[in-house]
């Protein structure tokens, strides 16, 4: 039994998915279906666009979703999954993989999510920063001590926490983190304060779409970002997905809970990001890139 893992924004790269498109008629069908549904040639941007093209939130999110879910479809025959999980955006991909969402509904949610988050980025200046080499509690204390919007956003792995908030708050936090012994504290090249209160307008808009979407009974549990815990309760899954845009991604807690629950083999679809985080938890775990 294998846990299925799906990466989020930041795992994109030029040429993503092109090998699958050229090698598989099924992949071509899914890419073409996605292009038709969202109304533009996303596949062309993925295959032949520039880094800058792919960095736009409204492009990045559907591109990462499409790349990961098609990799899963092509390489999961006879695979029995014990659970699924996804990092931020990847949580929607995970919900398609375990049957909670259809491919079409998943893509629709991702596209809507990307557009409302892009709007929030355009309306409110914000950014994020990676803090390396400090305990999570120390980083949380730094954020709490700053008189500006700055919060813990992505608990990626022990010793790596991404913070999010206003430009002022992030710049102050980075300097304080350096003063308090962080190995690295660097502002990221992103155009918004994801997983922070500054995403509240996006969350309010996305909530309606989530509530109007059909959530089916899952084939296996999903570990969700907002609490790092596994569930098969569709109402709870839906509620947690609504909360996700303004809540931290508790990936460190998710990984620890998975290991504690006895999962020891993992497949990451579409990138090699989450496997690196798992090595910080337990190097004996089997983590395959697919």
Return d(Cα 113, Cα 9) in angstroms, integer: 12
Look at strands 2-6 and 150-157 and give their pairing.
unpaired
CB-based contact 83:97 (threshold 8 Å): no
Q: Is 195 a catalytic residue?
A: yes
Contacts for 204 with CB less than 8 Å, ≥ 6 apart: none
Which residues does residue 155 pair with via DSSP β-bridges, in sequence order?
161
CB-based contact 73:25 (threshold 8 Å): no
Which residues does residue 2 pair with via DSSP β-bridges, in sequence order?
81
Annotated catalytic residue within 88, 164, 196, 247 = 88
226 to 85, 183, 252: CA distances (angstroms): 12, 27, 11
Written as six digits, the tokens of 147 are: 């008189």
Annotated catalytic residue within 11, 43, 114, 195 = 195
Q: Is 20 a catalytic residue?
A: no
Residues taking part in catalysis: 88, 195
């Amino acid at each position: 039994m294998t846990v299925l893992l799906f990466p989020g924004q930041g795992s994109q790269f030029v040429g993503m998915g092109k090998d699958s498109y050229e090698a598989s008629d099924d992949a071509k069908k899914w890419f073409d279906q996605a292009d038709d549904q969202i109304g533009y040639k996303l596949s062309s941007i993925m295959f032949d666009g520039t880094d800058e093209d792919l960095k736009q939130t409204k492009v990045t999110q559907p591109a990462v979703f499409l790349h990961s879910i098609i990799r899963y479809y092509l390489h999961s025959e006879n695979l029995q999954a014990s659970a699924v999980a996804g990092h931020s955006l990847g949580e929607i991909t995970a919900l398609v993989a375990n049957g909670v969402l259809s491919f079409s509904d998943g893509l629709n949610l991702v596209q809507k999510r990307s557009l409302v988050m892009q709007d929030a980025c355009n309306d409110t200046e914000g950014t994020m920063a990676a803090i390396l080499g400090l305990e999570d509690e120390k980083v949380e204390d730094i954020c709490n001590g700053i008189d500006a919007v700055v919060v813990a956003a992505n608990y990626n792995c022990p010793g790596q926490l991404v913070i999010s908030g206003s430009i002022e708050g992030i710049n102050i936090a980075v300097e304080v983190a350096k003063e308090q012994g962080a190995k690295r504290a660097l502002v990221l090249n992103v155009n918004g304060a994801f997983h922070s209160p500054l995403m509240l307008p996006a969350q309010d808009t996305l909530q309606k779409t989530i509530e109007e979407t059909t959530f089916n009974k899952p084939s296996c549990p999903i570990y969700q970002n907002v609490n790092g815990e596994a569930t098969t309760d569709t109402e709870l899954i839906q509620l947690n997905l609504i909360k996700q845009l303004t809540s931290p991604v508790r990936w460190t807690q998710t990984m620890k809970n998975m290991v504690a629950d006895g999962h020891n083999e993992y497949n990451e679809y579409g990138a090699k990001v989450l496997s690196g985080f798992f090595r910080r938890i337990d190097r004996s775990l089997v983590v395959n890139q697919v």
